[in-house]
Amino acid sequence: MNYEQIKTEVKDGILTLTLNRPEKLNAFTGTMMNEMIDVFTRANSDDEVRAIVVTGAGRAFCAGADLSAGAATFDYDARADRPDRKAGSGPDINWSDERLRDGGGRLTLAIFECLKPVIAAVNGPAVGVGVTMQLAMDVRIASDTARFGFVFSRRGIVPEACSSWFLPKIVGISQALDWTLTGRVFDAQEALRGNLVKDVVKPEELLPRAYALAAEIRDNTSPVSVALIRQMMWRLSALDHPMEAHKIDSRGIYSRGASADVKEGVVSFLEKRPANFPQKVSTDMPPWFPWWSERTYS
């Protein structure tokens, strides 16, 4: 696919998604949102893709929302260039109108629902949606030149992209509140201390580190198991009792136990050789998947 504001490449089973507005520090737009959602949606059914690495072109990861509309940037009812977002105003507004939906949230929900592991390679500044979009990704690795900022309180708005759900799970409520209440920009080392990122590396080591992690998954794991594990970890950790996780664990162990993948996994271990898992995400997910009901915006 050819895109306007992102670039994609699949090599050796790893999809690289590059935000590609370097002259604007990869500022986020509606076009970028739609293109990224398309990539994550397509990746779900593409068995060639075993992992996804997301990075930015030039010196930034993503400088946040494109502010070129000035004071009307977040006032969609006042913007002539976004008729798709006009949902009206005043006391009679319908707060369940689909047109009210936050674009960052549309993207993070698509990442949340992805069946492939997602690694952020944060090559430079990542503020606003530039950092909140990363929260739905599984691992974040940062260059030592990266900067982060949940700057919403300093713009008079609130965190978006479902970050009030993701961020406390990743870093804890106190750290999440520190960063979001102050809205300050902080460096990669603080992000590491606060558990926002897994590693901080030199700029030239960033993509090699991300690709090495992606390759470890690609070379050693069952694609179906990885897809199930990713959804289990994200979805089940938020439930109110471990019994809910036990129900899904039990379905997984029982159904996967009889699968060709598990037979290959056990035999390859006993024979001391690399596994060659035969099953595919596109055709071999278990019959009980998905176990949840689709959520709607209402």
Interval 22-37 mean pLDDT: 97
Answer whether residue 71 shows pLDDT above 60. Answer: no
Residue 90 has what pLDDT?
A: 77
Higher local confidence (pLDDT), 214 or 93: 214
Condensed to tens digits (0 to 9), the pLDDT of residues 236-279 reads 998 999 999 999 999 999 999 999 999 999 999 999 999 999 99
Residue 79 has what pLDDT?
A: 55
Supply the pTM of this predicted model: 0.94
Residue 81 has what pLDDT?
A: 63
Peptide bond before residue 274 is cis, with ω within 30 degrees of 0: no
Residue 59 has what pLDDT?
A: 97
Tell me the residue type at 115: L
Condensed to tens digits (0 to 9), the pLDDT of residues 147-162 reads 999 999 999 999 999 9
Condensed to tens digits (0 to 9), the pLDDT of residues 170-211 reads 999 999 999 999 999 999 999 999 999 999 999 999 999 999
Answer whether residue 76 shows pLDDT above 90. Answer: no
What are the structural domains of the chain?
6-217 (3.90.226.10), 221-284 (1.10.12.10)
